Amino acid sequence: MSTDVAFLAEFADGAPARSALELAAGAAELAGQSGGAAVALAYGPGADAGAAGLGAAGAVRAVVLGSGGGPAIGHAAALAAAVGQVEPLAVLAPATPNGRDLAAALVGLLGVPAFGPVRAVEVADGRIRSEQATLQGSVITVSEPAEGAPSPSIVLVLANTFTPVEGGSGDAEVSEAPSSDAGAFGRARIAESHPAEAAVVNLEEASVIVAGGRGVGSEEGFAPLQDLAAALGGAVGASRAAADAGWIAYQLQIGQTGKVVKPALYIACGISGAIQHRVGMQTAEHVVAINKDPDAPIGEFADLFVVGDLFQIVPKLTQEIKRRKA
């Protein structure tokens, strides 16, 4: 085993995903603690040409798993082969569907320990030590590999746990993963692709989120939330109730079965705050809730809880924020 810390770096349309830049910073930080190097494990369209550029984000080396556009899980065999070559102390994976699939494949193929999704991680005494919220956030646990557990430790990392390096420079030293047969994972293929006409914001990247729930009442009801988000330079999200009702795309759903977000500011409008929603936003730094129900559960964990009609308050709030900015 080396003291290197590897991370999954997903590419789409020729550019690294935000998660790749965050994990590069995280791997560099952990590698600083372990005395090794941050190594990118890059995959997806554009990974071959873009891998060297991860050097500016913190990677010392980059191994290209493949640049094909099929399901991410198709890179699992190459990933396992690359991990066998690099022998890292840990592999950081984004806690996204693709990241989890690849992390899961590594756990199954290599029989190694898995951690997370973590809210903090460090290297202590040469091993991973992770901190995670479990049982819907009711308990915080700190974990490490059991005595004699094989390496690497697989660590799922939530978005916004690490901050991308700014103003970095230099190229990562790029190599190809050892050739491997994609095996059974390669038998899954994208039979049809149905992108939406308009691009959808990646909520995990937003530092301000204005989210709407059942209380928003309709697709049109989201318009004032869009205006407020625009005034704050943020994005609009939703609870499962709003996505199920068809008022907003499922990509914008926040919660246990949607995105887990960690913005600086979260404004919840007409969201009651069920536990399933809470686990998707409870790590937001500041939570403001506007709800006409004084007994809504969100009133128990918001930092600022405003009892009132969102349709009266939100447009005026947008006006006032615009006025102060002007």
Partner 1 sequence: MTSIVVCIKQVPATTAEKRYTADLRLDRASAESVINPLDEYAIEQALKLAESGALDKVTYLSMGPEQAAEALRRALAMGGDEAYLVTDDALAGADEWATARVLAAALDKLAPDVALMGMASDDARGSLVPGAVAAIRGLPLLSYGAELTLADGAARIRRLSASGFDIIEAPLPVVASVTDQVGEPRYASLKGIMAAKRKPLETWSLADIGLAADDLHGAAALTRVIEARPPEAKPPTERVADVDADEAVTRIVDWLAARKLV
Q: Which of residues 134-153 bind partner 1 (CB under 8 A)?
A: 134-150
- Binder among 61, 75, 240, 277 for partner 1 (CB under 8 A): 240
Closest C-alpha to 158, from 94, 237, 69: 94
Cα 239 versus chain centre, distance: 18
- Given a contact cutoff of 8 angstroms between Cβ atoms, the answer to whether 9 and 23 are in contact is yes
Neighbouring C-beta atoms of residue 165, cutoff 10 Å: 16
Q: Which of residues 60-89 bind partner 1 (CB under 8 A)?
A: 71, 73, 76
Using rule CB under 8 A, residue 245 touches partner 1: no
Residue whose CB is less far from partner 1, 139 or 167? 139
Residue whose CB is less far from partner 1, 30 or 155? 155
- Binder among 35, 84, 108, 126 for partner 1 (CB under 8 A): 108
**Segment near partner 1 (CB under 8 A), from 49-57, 165-173, 183-191, 210-218?**
183-191
Q: Which residues contact 185 (CB under 8 A, 6 or more apart)?
A: 73, 74, 76, 77, 105
Q: Which of residues 16-55 bind partner 1 (CB under 8 A)?
A: none
Using rule CB under 8 A, residue 120 touches partner 1: no
**Segment near partner 1 (CB under 8 A), from 44-52, 53-61, 211-219, 305-313?**
305-313
End-to-end CA distance of the chain: 57
Residue whose CB is less far from partner 1, 185 or 222? 185
Residue whose CB is less far from partner 1, 176 or 300? 300
Using rule CB under 8 A, residue 125 touches partner 1: no
**Segment near partner 1 (CB under 8 A), from 35-43, 159-167, 171-179, 293-301?**
293-301
State how far the Cα of 308 lies from the Cα of 242, in Å rounded to an integer. Answer: 19
**Segment near partner 1 (CB under 8 A), from 33-41, 55-63, 197-205, 209-217?**
197-205
State how far the Cα of 158 lies from the Cα of 130, in Å rounded to an integer. Answer: 12
- Given a contact cutoff of 8 angstroms between Cβ atoms, the answer to whether 86 and 124 are in contact is no
Using rule CB under 8 A, residue 321 touches partner 1: yes
Residue whose CB is less far from partner 1, 179 or 189? 189
- Is the four-CA dihedral 269, 136, 103, 186 of positive or negative sign? negative
Shortest gap between Cβ of 238 and partner 1 (angstroms)?
Answer: 14
Shortest gap between Cβ of 174 and partner 1 (angstroms)?
Answer: 25
State how far the Cα of 223 lies from the Cα of 3, in Å rounded to an integer. Answer: 51
* Residue in this structure with the two tokens 């293929």, named with its chain if needed: 189
Residue whose CB is less far from partner 1, 1 or 184? 184
22: left (phi over 0), alpha (psi -120 to 50) or beta: alpha
Shortest gap between Cβ of 320 and partner 1 (angstroms)?
Answer: 5
Using rule CB under 8 A, residue 188 touches partner 1: yes
State how far the Cα of 126 lies from the Cα of 58, in Å rounded to an integer. Answer: 20
Kindly calculate the radius of gyration of the chain based on its CA atoms and give it in whole angstroms: 21
